């Protein structure tokens, strides 16, 4: 034999081949094992499917033929329950439920499924029923499209209702004589109820209701709602005040939107147990924090409104309800629903701005929720809440001084105060939470007979502490030793503020409704004193607590209304009344100046500025402006010179000044006029040329023929013309005029114009005060006011008048209809909404139709005059800032501050005659005309003639004076230049005929030197000179520019 040598490569190949074959055999073994496992599982699955199909087929055959007895059903259900994935098989569960329901209606005892409860299968039957109930609840809760399984869900709930209502079991009726069996069945029914609750019955009900009720139209039929009502009834009956069940009830079903709204008669069996629910709510006070933490804000809102609805239904059914505790709990929920901790960036149709997006349930239920909110001011709830207050007897003869209280009465009525305080606190939270419905709630409370007077009597007679103690309570947080008096006072101020704006002068002053003038004086004094003590003595507390600030703002709103009404038509005995005895205006102003407009002194100035005398306020304003001028002029030294053509004065001013910054316009503006020949007028602006420019610009802009402003017929008050939009750039024009008038006020230049009070009010704009434009309407359109008053007092059906919430306006010969509210042209005015209608019309006439123009004007005005500077001024005082004081003209003061030029001096005979005539012989009208003749304004400056700039001056003009002077002083050169430019010539024959003239831009009177050669001729010339002066000022002849 020959030996063959095996190479190393061949050996390696052999080993690899062996390994590969071995791995292949192992793989085949694994494949065989896997195939065996797969086949085993497949056979098992196939067997399970066949078994499942057979069980279901047998079950379907059984229930379809209805040839079964209760035992057959029991075993069929038992087999079905062993099938996997039954929880997702809604069809099978529905068939099981239907089969059980069918068996209960059968006349054959053998088919009664309930009969197994007393058979040998009772234990397994009970377990089976509990399992089915749990599966039914899971099927409802797991459904994403509840509408698709609504039929099955209703069947499940019907079965549960039967299970929990043992008296409806036929087997229960059959065994009437066997008390032992009946007791067993009753206990089984209780067991089913408990198991249904633990399996999520209440949560399932909420799920069903949320999906079907939270829509514009409910998808649940009346019979289905009746079923739900009966289930809630059963929960209430079987609960026996179990707190866990009540808590679950409030965390689920009661947090469903508009639940009670949907349960309308005759499906409101649950309402008969509203007392139980409310009583349970009281017991749940200890769980209120858990409810607040678990429920979303929308769900908490649903809960609150459902409870309020239940309360209303309980009252309607004349059930006795102990509501103070209920109010406490609901009030706590309401505060939680309205609280915000982050940035409110979403609009909530009920709560306004909120932190989270609105749920679909709420979005679809707004209309129904609004109806529930309206129950807060329903007659039943109002009367029930405030019944004790309205029935209380208060002293009738109250002293005028609010500091006199009835200590003996307080002891017996302190319980009433605490009781009413809770209700008032609840309503205050309600109006702050439901801001959109605030007016409706407050006005409805005011319409409750004797409500306002009773509430004020409680305020007046109950509070025995000093105003300083009350101020401390008002400035505290609600949680810090709450004073029961505070909510009462705040709600009174809220209600009376809302009601006061709709009262006419006749109702207040003649009829004295709802309060006498004596009571109004008392209310004003009480609130005024309290407010001052809060602001002055408790500023630190107030500064740190927004809730306290909100309360103070409400009280301040009422006080502003009372003060403004007194300003328009006085009912307060004397002006010092508005200054509290503890207040020292001088000290407050001194602190205001030293603090730089910060701290408590600024708060006092903002809230109750009427404590300061008018002159002090004017002096303070001028000191602020003087300081502002010095600061800005230090920063900006460069002067801006504007050249204005006299023939295009308004247009040039607009084109030049609209590009200037506010600071430049205030501090660095100089004017140079260009005459008709195109030459620069030789003039040095010693505030005189600027004054002339401002006066002429304002005169042109306010001229009704220009189209921006119109005047009222009766008082000749200026206000923006609704038709001013005929100017393409009317907004810019109003802004420009606002800046120009602001500049005039800034420079202390008064203009002879009276703005309408309703227009000035927009400049003042007190954010805390309500205002009724109806009060000011007579000044605009007395005929319209009479017509609206007729509508207000009309005893018949207002619908017969054919009015709608719209107005027709004649705009350039074309009638245009404007709606007062959305859809106003088709909204009929009725007896119920006529008050709203007349106020809407007044608001439209005096605000809405000139809103754009007014905003532009106010923006321009406040660009020059800082808004904070105006805070301490009342409406009449703003008018005086613009046009001067309306008091009598004190010519003695003018004489003391007069300056004399051209040879005149205080002892000059002409000057002596002049002052003697003006002071002793002129009427008030002639004095006013003299002032207008010289200064262009018929009213004296607010700070007196000593503050007039330029100062009032009288210059001598004799027969030969042609405007020149041998003594060529700079001032004489300027005056001579003006007179030369205007062609004014002197003549020896002018001495007896020449009229006085004036340069209003310099407040300069040019008085001729009238010579008198004898006593007789002196008297005659004296008389003649008087007539000349009178003729000049009355006819305005002799006015000349210099």
Tally the residues of the chain.
1042
CA distance 538 to 600: 9
Count CB-CB contacts under 10 A for residue 712: 17
DSSP string, 347-365: EETTTEEESSPPPHHHHT-
pLDDT at position 966 is: 37
Catalytic residue among 164, 555, 937, 1001: 1001
Contacts of 618 (CB under 8 A, 6+ apart): 881, 942, 943
Which whole-number Å values give the CA distances from 382 to 274, 387, 521, 774, in the listed order? 18, 8, 28, 29
Positions of the chain with pLDDT under 50 = 1-2, 399-413, 480, 684, 959-992, 1012-1025, 1036-1042
pLDDT at position 236 is: 75
pLDDT at position 396 is: 59
* Chain mean position to CA 869: 25
Q: How many CA atoms lie within 13 A of 94 on its CB side?
A: 12
- Give tens-digit pLDDT for 83-97: 755 555 778 888 888
pLDDT at position 490 is: 93
821: tokens are: 């509210």
Nearest to 444 by CA among 507, 386, 513: 386
Which whole-number Å values give the CA distances from 968 to 382, 475, 975, in the listed order? 86, 69, 10
Contacts of 141 (CB under 8 A, 6+ apart): 200, 203, 204, 207
Q: Are 72 and 116 in contact (CB under 8 A)?
A: no
**Which helix (DSSP H) or strand (DSSP E) does residue 475 occupy?**
helix 467-475
Count CB-CB contacts under 10 A for residue 881: 24
354 catalytically annotated: no
Q: Tokens 């088919």 appear where?
A: 111
- Bridge partner list, 720: 709
**Which helix (DSSP H) or strand (DSSP E) does residue 98 occupy?**
helix 90-104
1014: tokens are: 């004898």
Count CB-CB contacts under 10 A for residue 753: 19
pLDDT at position 686 is: 52
Which whole-number Å values give the CA distances from 777 to 529, 547, 760, 769, 848, in the listed order? 32, 35, 14, 18, 14
Nearest to 673 by CA among 150, 1042, 984, 962: 1042
pLDDT at position 911 is: 80
Give me Rg for the CA atoms of the chain.
44
pLDDT at position 987 is: 42
pTM strictly above 0.95? no
pLDDT at position 967 is: 40
Q: Are 453 and 445 in contact (CB under 8 A)?
A: no
CA distance 218 to 876: 57
Instruction: List phi, psi (to 5°) of 643.
Output: -100, 125
pLDDT at position 1027 is: 56
**H helix and E strand count, the chain:** 46, 12
Angle in degrees, CA 84, 87, 89, rounded to 5 = 85
Q: Are 457 and 522 in contact (CB under 8 A)?
A: no
Angle in degrees, CA 441, 447, 453, rounded to 5 = 110
**Which helix (DSSP H) or strand (DSSP E) does residue 876 occupy?**
helix 875-883
Nearest to 963 by CA among 982, 935, 990, 988: 982
pLDDT at position 470 is: 73
CA distance 273 to 271: 5
589: tokens are: 């102003």
Q: How many CA atoms lie within 13 A of 892 on its CB side?
A: 2
Burial class from Cβ neighbours inside 10 Å (0-12, 13-18, 19+) for residue 786 reads: exposed
At residue 828, the 3 state secondary structure works out as strand
Instruction: List phi, psi (to 5°) of 892.
Output: -65, -40
Nearest to 750 by CA among 539, 384, 486, 1003: 1003
Nearest to 156 by CA among 218, 93, 213, 219: 93
């Amino acid at each position: 034999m020959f030996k063959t040598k095996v190479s190393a490569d061949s050996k390696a190949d052999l080993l690899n081949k062996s390994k590969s074959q071995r791995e292949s055999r192992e793989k085949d073994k694994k494949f065989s094992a896997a195939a065996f496992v797969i086949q085993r599982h497949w056979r098992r699955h196939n067997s399970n499917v066949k078994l499942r199909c057979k069980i279901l087929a047998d079950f379907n055959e059984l229930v379809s033929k209805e040839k079964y007895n209760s035992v057959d059903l029991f075993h069929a259900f038992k087999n079905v329950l062993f099938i996997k994935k039954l929880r997702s098989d809604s069809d099978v569960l529905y068939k099981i439920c239907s089969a059980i329901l069918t068996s209960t209606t059968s006349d054959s005892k053998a088919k009664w499924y309930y009969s197994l409860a007393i058979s040998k299968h009772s234990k397994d039957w009970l377990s089976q029923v509990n399992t089915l109930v749990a599966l039914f609840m899971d099927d409802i809760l797991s459904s994403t499209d509840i509408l698709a399984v609504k039929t099955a869900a209703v069947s499940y709930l019907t079965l549960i209702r039967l299970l929990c209502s043992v008296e409806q079991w036929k087997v229960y009726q059959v065994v009437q004589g066997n008390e032992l069996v009946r007791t067993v069945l009753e206990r089984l029914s209780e067991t089913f109820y408990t198991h249904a609750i633990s399996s999520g019955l209440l949560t399932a009900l909420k799920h069903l209701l949320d999906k079907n009720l939270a829509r514009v139209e409910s998808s649940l039929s009346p019979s289905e709602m009746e079923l739900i009502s009966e289930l809630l009834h059963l929960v209430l009956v079987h609960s026996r005040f179990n707190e866990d069940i009540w808590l679950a009830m409030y965390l689920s079903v009661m947090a469903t939107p508009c639940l009670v709204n949907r349960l309308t008669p005759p499906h409101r069996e649950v309402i008969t147990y509203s007392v139980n629910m409310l009583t349970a709510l009281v017991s749940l006070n200890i769980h209120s924090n858990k409810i607040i933490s678990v429920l979303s804000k929308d769900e908490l809102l649903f809960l609150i409104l459902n409870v309020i609805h239940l309360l209303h239904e309980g009252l309607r059914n004349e059930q006795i309800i102990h509501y103070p505790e209920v109010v406490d709990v609901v009030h706590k929920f309401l505060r939680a629903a309205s609280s915000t901790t982050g940035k409110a960036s979403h609009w909530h149709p009920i709560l306004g701005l909120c932190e989270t997006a609105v749920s679909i349930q709420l979005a679809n239920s707004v209309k129904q929720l609004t109806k529930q909110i309206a129950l807060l001011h329903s007659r039943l709830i109002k009367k029930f809440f405030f019944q004790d207050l309205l029935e209380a007897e208060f002293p009738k003869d109250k002293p005028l001084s609010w500091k006199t209280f009835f200590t003996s009465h307080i002891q017996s009525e302190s319980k009433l105060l605490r009781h009413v305080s809770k209700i008032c606190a609840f309503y205050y939270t309600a109006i702050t939470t439901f801001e959109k419905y605030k007016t409706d709630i407050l006005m409805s409370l005011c319409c409750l007979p004797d409500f306002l007077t009773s509430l004020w009597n409680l305020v007046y007679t109950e509070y025995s502490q000093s105003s300083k103690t009350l101020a401390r309570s008002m400035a505290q947080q609600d949680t810090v030793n709450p004073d029961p008096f505070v909510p009462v006072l705040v709600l009174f101020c809220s209600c009376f503020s809302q009601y006061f704006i709709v009262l006419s002068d006749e109702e207040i002053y003649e009829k004295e409704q709802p309060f006498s003038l004596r009571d109004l004086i008392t209310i004003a004094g009480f609130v005024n004193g309290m407010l001052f003590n809060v602001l002055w003595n408790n500023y630190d507390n107030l500064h740190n607590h927004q809730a306290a600030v909100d309360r103070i703002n409400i009280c301040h709103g009422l006080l502003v209304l009372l003060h403004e009404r007194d300003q328009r038509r006085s009912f307060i005995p004397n002006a010092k009344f508005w200054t509290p005895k503890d207040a020292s205006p001088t000290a407050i102003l001194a602190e205001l100046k030293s603090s730089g407009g910060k701290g408590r002194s600024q708060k006092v100035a903002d809230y109750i500025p009427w404590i300061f005398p008018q002159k002090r306020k004017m002096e303070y304003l001028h000191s602020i402006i003087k300081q502002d001028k010095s600061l800005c002029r230090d920063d900006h030294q460069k002067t801006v010179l504007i050249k204005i053509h006299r023939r295009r004065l308004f247009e040039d001013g607009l084109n030049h000044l609209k590009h200037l910054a506010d600071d430049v316009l205030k501090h660095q503006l100089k004017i140079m006029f260009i005459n008709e020949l195109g030459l620069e007028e030789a003039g040095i602006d010693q505030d005189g040329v600027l004054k002339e420019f401002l006066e002429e610009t304002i005169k042109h802009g306010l001229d009704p023929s220009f189209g921006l402003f119109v005047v009222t017929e009766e008082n000749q008050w200026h206000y923006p013309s609704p038709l001013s939009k005929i100017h393409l750039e009317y907004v810019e024009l109003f802004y420009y005029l606002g800046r120009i008038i602001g500049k005039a006020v800034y420079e202390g230049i008064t203009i002879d114009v009276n703005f309408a009070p309703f227009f000035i009010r927009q400049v003042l704009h007190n954010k805390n005060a309500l205002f009724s434009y109806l009060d000011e309407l007579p000044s605009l359109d007395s005929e319209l006011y009479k017509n609206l008053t007729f509508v207000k007092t009309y005893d018949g059906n207002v619908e017969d008048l054919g009015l709608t919430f719209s107005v027709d306006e004649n705009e350039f010969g074309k009638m245009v209809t404007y709606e007062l509210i959305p859809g106003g042209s088709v909204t009929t005015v009725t007896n119920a909404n006529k008050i709203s209608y007349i106020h809407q019309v007044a608001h439209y006439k005096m605000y809405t139709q000139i809103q754009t123009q007014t905003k532009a004007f106010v923006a321009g005005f406040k660009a020059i005059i800082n808004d904070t500077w105006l805070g301490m001024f009342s409406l009449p005082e703003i008018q005086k800032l613009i046009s001067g004081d309306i008091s009598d003209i004190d010519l003695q003061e003018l004489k003391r501050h007069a300056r004399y030029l051209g040879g005149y001096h205080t002892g000059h005979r002409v000057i002596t005659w002049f002052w003697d005539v003006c002071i002793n012989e002129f009427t008030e009208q002639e004095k006013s005309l003299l002032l207008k003749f010289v200064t262009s304004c018929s009213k004296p400056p607010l700070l007196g003639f000593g503050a007039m700039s330029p100062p009032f001056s009288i210059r001598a003009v004799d027969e030969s004076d042609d405007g020149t002077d041998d003594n060529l002083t700079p001032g004489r050169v300027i005056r001579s230049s003006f007179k030369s430019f205007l062609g004014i010539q002197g003549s020896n024959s002018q001495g007896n005929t020449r009229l006085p003239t004036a340069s209003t831009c310099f407040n300069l009177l040019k008085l001729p030197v009238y010579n008198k050669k004898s006593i007789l001729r002196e008297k005659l010339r004296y008389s003649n000179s008087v007539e000349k002066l009178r003729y000049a000022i009355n006819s305005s002849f002799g006015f000349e520019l210099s």
